[in-house]
Chains A and B, each alone.
Chain A
């Protein structure tokens, strides 16, 4: 009797662990996907799940990026929002450091 309870409990715990890890894997995969895919995934995820996930840890890992401090910054040429011209990152080399603030309104 006791043995069967222990066995059932153990099996349940194992099944939950596997489901949990699988779920983490799904979330992580979506975090690594393009933002619009991740956004669509998150919008369907019930809010209680936000609080039972190690969300930050997964996010920092999934969005760690492709280069590190000390690496050459990827160059870019972008139009200014006021359409007054284009800015090339490497044009500031040798003169001033550059602060980049990535973001959007929403």
Chain B
């Protein structure tokens, strides 16, 4: 779903995955579903270890969206309350146009797509008006 949105809108919007603190490391809060899919990782101890898990994530889930790594101290997660997952659309003026509710319950790409369409339509109108 996210790859599809990326392919569809990548020429009109910038997309990034922000790889943040693990939701279910095996030493803290193991999930049966992760064990079944062999997604079992201990809590990374530094940036390098987090980067390795993030790389496995991108490869194994075949994510085409470019990924950014939130450092080990989690500054971006804290600023955006991004854990365990969350979607945002930032408009061209640097303002928050869409903020999903916190995942997993609040994570709905189709809801984000509607917001993105609105932002792009508004940009198009403004662009047309100034020319």
Contacts and interface: CB of A to CB of B under 8 A. Distances in A.
A40 B123 CA distance: 44
Given A60-B105, A103-B19, A106-B31, A36 B43 contact: yes
Interface in A62-99: 63-76, 78-82, 87, 89-90, 92-99
A102 B22 CA distance: 11
A42 interface: yes
Interface in A25-83: 34-36, 39-40, 42-43, 56, 59-60, 63-76, 78-82
B28 A99 contact: no
A16 B116 CA distance: 47
Interface residues of A, number: 47
Contacts, number: 203
A94 B90 CA distance: 11
Contacts of B84: 35, 103-104
A80 B99 contact: no
21 contacts: A36-B21, A56-B105, A63-B83, A65-B99, A73-B88, A78-B71, A81-B19, A81-B51, A96-B92, A97-B90, A97-B92, A98-B88, A99-B5, A102-B77, A102-B80, A102-B82, A103-B103, A104-B53, A105-B54, A105-B57, A106-B53
Interface of A: 34-36, 39-40, 42-43, 56, 59-60, 63-76, 78-82, 87, 89-90, 92-106
Interface of B: 2, 5, 9, 12-25, 28-31, 34, 39, 41, 43, 51, 53-58, 60-61, 65-71, 74-77, 79-99, 101-103, 105-106, 112, 116, 119-120, 123
**Which 8 A-B pairs give the minimum distances between C-beta atoms?**
A102-B82, A105-B57, A65-B81, A63-B102, A103-B85, A39-B29, A78-B68, A81-B67
